[in-house]
Chain A
Amino acid sequence: MRVLLFIPCLADQFAPGAAEATAVFLEHLGCEVIYPPDQTCCGQAHRNSGATQTARRLILRMAEIFEGEEPIVTPSGSCAAMVRRHAVELFSSTEPVPDAVRSMVSRTHELVEFIENELGLAPDEIVGDPGAAPPVVAWHPTCHLREIDRFEASGRFLDSVPGLEVRRLRHQEQCCGFGGTFASKFGAISGALAEDRCSALVDSAAPVLICNDTGCTMNIEGRLSRRDSPIPVLHISEWFCQALGLSYGEAGTDQ
């Protein structure tokens, strides 16, 4: 089936390798992946900061770019939550909700959600063993997935991958501290939360962390770097590509 790929602005800039892995993975699962090149941002940062007019403009722009019937798939839980839970309320109090926005809301899926619910695939139908991917991972749940009832979901998905051990981190329900502008404006608090997550990761002795949100990844990687704990962080689609022996990313251009 045809899917429209929605790549968050942060991933586009800071984690294009993970974005590529998502596209490669979806293609491997039998999707025809279309990437509307004019997409920019879902307006999450503006909505969260209370700049609702700008957020409204940005989400409407995205809705128009993603017009159509195909499912829209994003590797970012927070962007999926922004569209599904907050796009409509940006309009409702001031003007009728544009059809394009309603359509986008009804067709937007987070990646793992899409695989489970729309493609109807279970992990053991995708992969038989970890292959070249690490067989032991730690897993980080993205807070915003709470908003679409998928907080535990990608962890449980990973649990069902044959041969993969998925370690949960101590206090995993506690936010890693990213929060967008919060990370800079309230840096001391944010940094303390990042340290909690990183020390739990180190204590788990897992060789790699699976994290599906670019913001969380930047935050955790940033703290891991500062405390000299060089544990790699992978998007779930990167793990699956490695397991399936699919190449993605461009050596030397990811930084």
Chain B
Amino acid sequence: MNQPEIPTSVDGKPILFPGGKFDIRTRAEVFLQDEVLQVAVREATTLKDQARRDALEKAFGDDVAEIRKLAGAIKQHTIDHLDHYLEQWIDRAEAVGTRVHLATTAQEANRIVVEIAREEGVRLCVKSKSMVTEETQLVPQLEAAGIETVETDLGEFILQIDHDAPSHIVMPMIHKDRSSVARAFERVLGARYTEEPEELTAIARDHLRGKYREADLGISGGNFLVAESGSVVICTNEGNGRFCTSAPKTHIAVVGIEKLITGFDDLSVLLHLLARSATGQPLTCYTQILTGPKQPQELDGPEQMHVVLVDAGRTKILADPEFRSALRCIRCGACLNACPVYRKVTGHAYGSVYSGPIGAVITPLLSGIDKNSTLPEASSLCGACNEACPVDIDLSGLLVGLRRKIRKQRGSWPERMALRLLGFAFSHTISYRIASKLQRFFLLCISGGSRTIHSAPGPFAGWTRDRDLNLPARISFRDRWARKGGRIR
């Protein structure tokens, strides 16, 4: 029985599953100081963000906004009728020979996969990238059952052998540099030390090709579930996804229920947007549309195809009309690349499988608002994510909605008090005038009479850590206006 080491972060807690109440600031403080990490993540995200904009403009010109709205409406329609389309998908999938299994919880999903693997006598499993299996923590369960499980996506493979965790939905190791890869390959694979990406990739390729040949089972995720045909669609770039779904005799796809779309017309729209939003490519190198196991006349392919559909809290999000649109997400990562906060704190700071703006929305909804209340708060609401999202999710609106829930449930009392006071001050002209005088007086006290504050106490210490604060003007605009008899000059 292998008990794999769970990768931990700078706070000593598991990277993606810290447990308990989590504060994004703890890890962010450390990552903000890491110059190498800052440069790597800034470059990766700004490049991809620009590539997205360039690709969409090149392909669709002035129609981009309208197309994003269309894609959003397509996904919304589907999730608003998820019961119907899910049932249709199950019927059609079973009709073409796919074995469908339904997992209400993460644990159930893992149990189903392990059971299938055991029944098939699986000893070696090759796996391609799947966010939902990160969520359920499938791989440790398979390994605990004695099944060697190899991640085949280059980034995920490196993270696996180096006891690390993904930090981005699409580019899992943007936080890692080549020297850590070189050391890991030397240590774990016995490879000659090299830092050249081409050579490192070749080492991984050779190692993994051996695994494809021997594997009894291939596990994948799924980007889309097509209701009209009972198909699973998988979008990849390296080719490992194709190996995992074509070489072994059994294939299991583990897919969240929100991946449903109604038919191939929907697929066409969303495919046009997915890769362009993620990396600027028109499509990923490989888009596989899988409809059942190998047919009798076909020459190769898996004898058995299983699909495990996963709920794991998605019906909870579905049930709340205010947050339901979060399920539109097609996991393109565009919001991460656009987000100034993600760029600075980097993926592991979120303490969750899903980071960036979408992570800040769905992590509290899936894992509890109380435990993750800093995630929706850690945003300047700049709206870059809204503009980046190909399915038109109002992410910053959802963050504000979560802040409302937080405020109701357990907002810290000093902040609630401050907001109340501020609200009172704004409610009447007189209270406003008094409050503004008091504020100036209070700030003067802090500044010791000078017009600039260099260090403020309490809640304002966050500001003065890196910035000064100038005092308000001696005479406010309203007072000047009044003085001049209600005129400008």
Contact = CB atoms under 8 A, between A and B. Distances in A.
A191 B465 contact: yes
Contacts of A57: 423, 427
Contacts, number: 220
Q: Chain A contact residues: over half helix, strand or loop, or mixed?
A: helix
A50 B426 CA distance: 17
Contacts of B473: 13-17, 253-255
Give the most central of A57, A147, A174, A253: most B CB within 10 Å: A174
B480 A46 contact: no
Contacts of A9: 426, 432
Interface string B447-489: 0000110100001111111111111111111101110001011
Contacts of A189: 25, 28, 32, 341, 344-345, 378
A179 B463 contact: no
B429 interface: yes
B46 interface: yes
B59 to A, nearest CB: 20
Contact of A54 (B25, B406, B419): B419
Interface in A98-137: none
Contacts of A46: 419, 422-423
B403 A50 contact: yes
Contact of B379 (A17, A182, A218, A247): A182
Contacts of A48: 381, 400, 403
A181 to B, nearest CB: 8
Q: Chain B contact residues: over half helix, strand or loop, or mixed?
A: helix
B170 interface: no
Contacts of B475: 16, 250, 253
B387 interface: yes
Give the most central of B401, B477, B486: most A CB within 10 Å: B477
Interface in A154-190: 171, 173-175, 177-190
Contacts of B380: 143, 175, 177-180, 182-183, 190, 193
A187 B24 CA distance: 12
Contacts of A190: 380, 462-463, 466
A225 interface: yes
Nearest to A198: B467
Contacts of B415: 49, 181
User: Considering the complex of A and B, which 6 residue pairs feature the smallest CB-CB distances, nearest first?
Assistant: A179-B380, A187-B462, A191-B466, A222-B467, A50-B403, A50-B404
7 contacts: A13-B473, A19-B477, A175-B382, A187-B462, A218-B470, A223-B468, A226-B466
